[in-house]
Structure 1
Amino acid sequence: MSVSDQTITKTLSVKEKMKVITILAFPAVIENFFQTALGFVDTFFVAHLGLIEVSAVGLTNAILAIYFAIFMAVGVGVNVLMANSIGAGKPERAAHIAQQSIILASIIGIITGIVTLLFAENLLRLMGVEEEVLSAGVLYFRIVAIPSILMSLMFVMSSILRGAGDTKSPMKVSIIANLINAVLDYVLIFGLLFIPAFGLAGAAIATVISRLVGVVLLGLYIKKNSSITFRKEDWSFDKQHQIELLNLGTPAAGERLAMRIGQIVYFGFIVKLGTNTFAAHQIAGNIEVFSYMIGYGFATAATILVGKQIGSGNREEAKSYAKLTTMITVGFMAFLGLGLFFLGEWAGKFFTTDKTVIEEIGIALKISAVFQPFLAVVLILTGAYQGANNTKYPMYLTTVGMWVVRTGLVYLLAIQFNMGIAGVWIAIGVDIAFRAVVLWIRMEKGKWISKTKDKTSPCHPKTKQPKLDDCVNNY
C-alpha cells in the first residue's frame, strides 16, 4: 500500500500534505522502533552467554557499520532516483533503476562476503581485539557476514519500495524479520526440545535466517507493487545507471562514515573523563536513540516527497513539503525532549544503580532535550537534500560539524574547562544547531537542489544514439 503518485505530485492544502507526510512517515517510525527494541532483546540474550560473547558481537557490529554504509549508498541512490523518475511520470525508468540497484547490491554483497571469508580475523585484529575474544568474534563475524548479500539486498529492496512511495511494506518485513530473529535467538542460543544449544553461533544463524526471510518477503512485495514492473531485458548491467546510483549514494554513505569516525575521535576525550562519565554518556545515548526513530522516520517521508516533486519539476512544492515535514517533526521531537528533560534520570535507573552515573545521565539528557528541535531540522533537511539529488552538501557539513565543531568543543569544554559530561553534550548540541541553521539558510536561499543533469537521459549529449521520440517524451 502506497500513497498514489497523483496525490503526491498535485497541489494539496496544508492539511492534505500533513496527512500524506504522516502516512509515509509513521510506518518508517514504527519500523525503526521495532529494530531498536528487538536489538535490545538480541543483546539481552547474547549477554547471558558472557562478556566475551558480548564483546565479540560488539566488535563485529563496529565493522558491519562500515558494510552498512556501503549498502546504504546504493539504497539512497535508488530511493532518490526512483522518486524522481516516478514524479516525472517515468515508471519504466524507475523500474529499470530498481533492477540495476539489485544487480549492484548483489555484486557489493558478494564482494563484502568474500572479504569477510578471507580477512575476518585480520579485520578484528585491526579493532584491537583481545585474544580471548578473537575466536568467538571470527566465528560470529563469518557466519553473519559471509552471506552479506542478504544484508545488501534488504537495504536496497526496502529502498526500492520506499522510492515507489511504499513505506508500509518495509515496515511489515522488518517487524516479521526481527520477531523471527528474536525467537530463533532464544531457540538456537540456548536450545529447545530436540534442538541443541549453539551458543554464539546460534545467535549468528538466527540473524542470517531472519535476513533471508526478509529478502524473500521484500521480493514478494516488490512483485505485487503496481508501480514497479521488472523486464527481463533490463537485468543486463547498465554502466551509466550504476554510476548514477553511486554518485548519489556515495556521499550519503560518506556522511555516515564521517560521523562514525568523528565519534571514535571524541570518544577518546570522553574516556579521559573517567569510566563513570563514559558509561553515563553511552547510556544517555542509548536512551536518546528513541528520538532518532521519529526523526529518521519523517526524514524517509521527506526524501520520497521532495524526490517526487523534484522529478515532476515542482520546486516550490518540494520546498513546501521539506518545510512542513520539518515543522511537524520539530513538534514531535520537542515533545519528546520534555520527556528526556524530566524523566532522564528515571530512565537511567534501568541501566545502573550508581548514583553518580544516574546524575550525569540526567545532565546529559537535559541538555539533549534543549537541542531536540535542532536535531529534527538536521535529520529532515538531510533527507530533503537527498531527495533533491544533493547528497554531497550534507556530507561536507557533517564532516565539518563532527571534526571541527563537535570534536573541538568536546576537547575545549569537557577537558580544558573541566565541564565534564555537560561540556560533552553542549558540544554535541552546538554542532547539531550549527548544521541545522546552515541547512535551513541554504534552503531558504534556494541552494539546496542539485543542478546535476540526468546523464542517463536519452537526450543527454553523452548518451549514444539518442532517439528523437525519446527526447520529445523526456522534455
Structure 2
Amino acid sequence: MKRSSYLLSLLQNKEHLSFRQQLQLTVLLSIPAIIAQFSSIAMQYIDASMVGSLGAHASASIGLVVSSTWLFWGICTTVAAGFSVQVAHRIGANDRKGARAILRQAIISTLLFSLVLVAIGAVVAPRLPYWLGGDNSIAADASKYFLIFILSLPALQLNFLASGMLRSSGNMHIPSALNVIMTILDVIFNFFLIFPSRELHVLGFSLHVPGANLGVVGAALGTAIAYFVTAVLLLSYLITKDKNLRLTKEKGSFRPQKNILKKALKISFPMTLEHTVIMGAQILSTVIVAPLGVASIAANSFAITAEGLCYMPGYGIAEAATTLVGQSFGAQRKHLAKRFAYITVFLGMLVMSVMGAIMYFAAPLIMRFMTPDTEIISLGVMALRIEAFAEPMFAASIVAYGVFVGAGDTLVPSIMNFSSIWAIRLVLAAILAPVMGLRGVWIAMCIELCFRGAIFLFRLFKSKWLNEMPVT
C-alpha cells in the first residue's frame, strides 16, 4: 500500500514514471481490485450453490430474476461512477478539498436516487416473474427474492459509492478487504437463514445448528444483511480514516451543486442508459431461455454465475484502469494515460485468457459444486466451454471500457456496448435457440463478445478518447 501511494504521488506531482514503475503500479492496484471482484462473484456463487442444494425449482426461481437484479445493481454502480470519476480527476490535480466537496454531494444524491429505485422495484416485484415467462411453481419465490434485493438497494448504493471513492483516491486495499468480509458474512447469514435446524456431525461430535428454514428468501435476506454491514464499515472508513477524502478534515455543505451534478450526469447517464439497455437484453435472453424448461433456466443462471469467476479479474483490472487513467487526466498527463490504457488492456486479456482455459477444463467440477442435478450440470458445462473461447476479447471490451470511463468518455463506448448486444447477440440467440436450445444462446453470446472486443480495441488504438482531457 505504501509503494502504490508513493507511485501515485509521482503521477500526481508530474514526476517521471518508468515503464517498470507503470507496470508495478498497475499490478499493485489491480490485485486488490481483482480480489474484491472475486468476492463479489463468490457471493452469487455461494447463494447459487446453497440454494441449488434445495432443488431445481429453487435454483430456477433465482435464475429467473437474476438479470433483473443485475439491472438495478448496475444502475447503482453507474450512478456512483458519475461522482467517483470526478474525484479521481480532482485527486490527480492535487485538489483534495474539491474531491471532498464532491463526495459530500455524492452521498446525498446517490442515496436519494436509490430510494427512487426502491419504489420502482417494489411496484414491479409481484408481476415480474410472470413477465419473464416463469410459471406458478417458481413465481412466488422469485418475486420474494427480487423484492428483498430491491429493499437492500440503499445499502448497496452506498457500498458502491464508498468503494468507488476509495479506489478513485488510489486506496484499493480497504474495499477489497471489506468485500471479502462481506462474502464471509453472506456465507454465515445464509447458513442460518436458508436451512432448517439440523444436526451436524463433525469428527465424531454431534452439533445442533439452529436454522430459519427460509430457503430462497433466506438467501436474499442473508445477502441483504451482508450488504448493509459492509456499507456501514466502508462509509465509516471513508468519512473518518481515508487520508484524501475523510470528511472530518473540514466542514462543508452536503447540498448538491448544479455544476457537480451536471458533470456526474454527463458521465453516468450514458453508462446508466447503456446498462439499462444491456440488462434489458439480458432479461430478453431470459425470456428466450424460459421456454426451454426449468433445467435450462437453472443451467443458464448457474453458468452465468460461474463464468463470473473467469471475467471478474477483468473487471478488477478495469477498476485499476479507471483510477490510473482518471488521475493521469487530472494531472494533465496524456501520454501517461495512453500508456496505462495499453498496459491494463493487455494485462486483462492475458489474465482472462488463462482464466478461460481453466474454466474450460474445470467446468464439470464447477457445475457439480453448484448443483447435484445431472441434467443441469451437463447443460452448464456445455455453456461454460463455449464461453471460454470468448474470454480474451471479452477482457478487451471490459478493460478498455474502464479506460474510457477514467477519461470521462462514456457516450460512444456505451452505444458500442448495447448496440453489439442487441444487434448481434439477441438476433443470433433468437434464431439459434429454437433450433439448438441453450447451446444456441451461448454460441450467440460467444460470437458477440468477440465482436465487441474487436471494436473496443479499434477505438482504443485510434486514441480519440484522449480528446476528452480537460484543459486547465
In structure 1, C-alpha distance between the alignment counterparts of 2:132 and 2:291, rounded to whole Å: 20
Pair 1:100 & 2:105 matched: yes
In the other structure, the counterpart of 1:302 is 321
Where 1:89 maps in the other structure, the secondary structure is coil
Task: Specify whether residues 399 and 242 from structure 1 end up closer, same or farther in structure 2 by C-alpha distance, changes over 3 A only.
Answer: same
In the other structure, the counterpart of 2:161 is 156
Q: Which of 405, 410, 424 does residue 391 from structure 1 map onto?
A: 410
Q: Which of 313, 333, 338 does residue 314 from structure 1 map onto?
A: 333
In the other structure, the counterpart of 1:199 is 214
Residue 159 of structure 1 deviates from its aligned partner by 0.9
Residue 29 of structure 1 deviates from its aligned partner by 1.2
In structure 1, C-alpha distance between the alignment counterparts of 2:286 and 2:135, rounded to whole Å: 20
Q: Which of 64, 72, 88 does residue 69 from structure 2 map onto?
A: 64
Q: Give the conservation status (yes or no) of the 8 Å contact 1:74–1:104.
A: no
Q: Which of 251, 254, 258 does residue 235 from structure 1 map onto?
A: 254
In the other structure, the counterpart of 1:440 is 457
Amino acid at match of 1:197: A
In the other structure, the counterpart of 2:201 is none
CA distances 1:73-119 after superposition (whole Å, capped 9, x unpaired): 22221221111111122111211111111111210122233445555
Residue 313 of structure 1 deviates from its aligned partner by 1.1
- What RMSD, in angstroms, separates the aligned Cα atoms of the two structures? 3.3
In the other structure, the counterpart of 1:13 is 18
Residue 139 of structure 1 deviates from its aligned partner by 4.7
Aligned residues between the structures: 453
Amino acid at match of 1:104: S
Q: Give the conservation status (yes or no) of the 8 Å contact 1:92–1:229.
A: no
Residue 32 of structure 1 deviates from its aligned partner by 1.8
Where 2:126 maps in the other structure, the secondary structure is helix
Residue 320 of structure 1 deviates from its aligned partner by 0.6
In the other structure, the counterpart of 1:226 is 243
In the other structure, the counterpart of 1:210 is 226
Q: Give the conservation status (yes or no) of the 8 Å contact 2:334–2:469.
A: no
In the other structure, the counterpart of 1:338 is 357
In structure 1, C-alpha distance between the alignment counterparts of 2:380 and 2:123, rounded to whole Å: 42
Residue 363 of structure 1 deviates from its aligned partner by 5.4
Pair 1:188 & 2:203 matched: no
In structure 2, C-alpha distance between the alignment counterparts of 1:355 and 1:44, rounded to whole Å: 14
CA distances 1:136-175 after superposition (whole Å, capped 9, x unpaired): 4555544443353212111111111111111111111111
In structure 1, C-alpha distance between the alignment counterparts of 2:286 and 2:148, rounded to whole Å: 29
Q: Give the conservation status (yes or no) of the 8 Å contact 2:60–2:294.
A: no
In structure 2, C-alpha distance between the alignment counterparts of 1:342 and 1:44, rounded to whole Å: 20
In the other structure, the counterpart of 1:24 is 29
In the other structure, the counterpart of 1:293 is 312
Where 1:390 maps in the other structure, the secondary structure is coil
Amino acid at match of 1:321: F
Greater displacement, 266-275 / 286-295: 266-275
Task: Specify whether residues 117 and 225 from structure 1 end up closer, same or farther in structure 2 by C-alpha distance, changes over 3 A only.
Answer: same
Where 1:449 maps in the other structure, the secondary structure is helix
In structure 2, C-alpha distance between the alignment counterparts of 1:90 and 1:441, rounded to whole Å: 34
Task: Specify whether residues 11 and 432 from structure 1 end up closer, same or farther in structure 2 by C-alpha distance, changes over 3 A only.
Answer: farther
Greater displacement, 434-443 / 101-110: 434-443
Amino acid at match of 1:440: L
Residue 409 of structure 1 deviates from its aligned partner by 3.2
In structure 2, C-alpha distance between the alignment counterparts of 1:142 and 1:282, rounded to whole Å: 19
In structure 2, C-alpha distance between the alignment counterparts of 1:211 and 1:442, rounded to whole Å: 36
Residue 17 of structure 1 deviates from its aligned partner by 1.4
In the other structure, the counterpart of 1:464 is none
Residue 379 of structure 1 deviates from its aligned partner by 0.8
Task: Specify whether residues 381 and 15 from structure 1 end up closer, same or farther in structure 2 by C-alpha distance, changes over 3 A only.
Answer: same
Residue 246 of structure 1 deviates from its aligned partner by 2.3
Task: Specify whether residues 208 and 442 from structure 1 end up closer, same or farther in structure 2 by C-alpha distance, changes over 3 A only.
Answer: closer
Amino acid at match of 2:428: L
Where 1:233 maps in the other structure, the secondary structure is coil
Where 1:79 maps in the other structure, the secondary structure is helix
Residue 264 of structure 1 deviates from its aligned partner by 3.5
Q: Give the conservation status (yes or no) of the 8 Å contact 2:11–2:331.
A: no
In structure 1, C-alpha distance between the alignment counterparts of 2:316 and 2:290, rounded to whole Å: 32
In structure 2, C-alpha distance between the alignment counterparts of 1:46 and 1:355, rounded to whole Å: 16
Greater displacement, 193-202 / 166-175: 193-202
Amino acid at match of 1:323: Y
Greater displacement, 350-359 / 20-29: 350-359
Q: Which of 67, 76, 79 does residue 74 from structure 1 map onto?
A: 79
Q: Give the conservation status (yes or no) of the 8 Å contact 2:407–2:468.
A: no
Where 2:463 maps in the other structure, the secondary structure is coil
In the other structure, the counterpart of 2:204 is none
Amino acid at match of 1:13: S
Where 1:121 maps in the other structure, the secondary structure is coil
Task: Specify whether residues 157 and 288 from structure 1 end up closer, same or farther in structure 2 by C-alpha distance, changes over 3 A only.
Answer: same
CA distances 1:286-312 after superposition (whole Å, capped 9, x unpaired): 433211111111011011101111111
In structure 2, C-alpha distance between the alignment counterparts of 1:382 and 1:158, rounded to whole Å: 19
Task: Specify whether residues 36 and 7 from structure 1 end up closer, same or farther in structure 2 by C-alpha distance, changes over 3 A only.
Answer: same
In the other structure, the counterpart of 2:344 is 325
In structure 1, C-alpha distance between the alignment counterparts of 2:209 and 2:377, rounded to whole Å: 44
Amino acid at match of 1:427: A
Q: Give the conservation status (yes or no) of the 8 Å contact 1:38–1:178.
A: yes
TM-score by length of 1: 0.83
Pairing of 1:395-410 with structure 2 (within 5 A): 395-410=414-429
In structure 2, C-alpha distance between the alignment counterparts of 1:393 and 1:355, rounded to whole Å: 43
In the alignment, structure 1 segments of 5+ residues that lack a partner are: 455-474
Residue 42 of structure 1 deviates from its aligned partner by 2.5
Q: Which of 116, 123, 143 does residue 111 from structure 1 map onto?
A: 116
CA distances 1:190-224 after superposition (whole Å, capped 9, x unpaired): 35879662625544443333222112210222121
Pair 1:39 & 2:81 matched: no
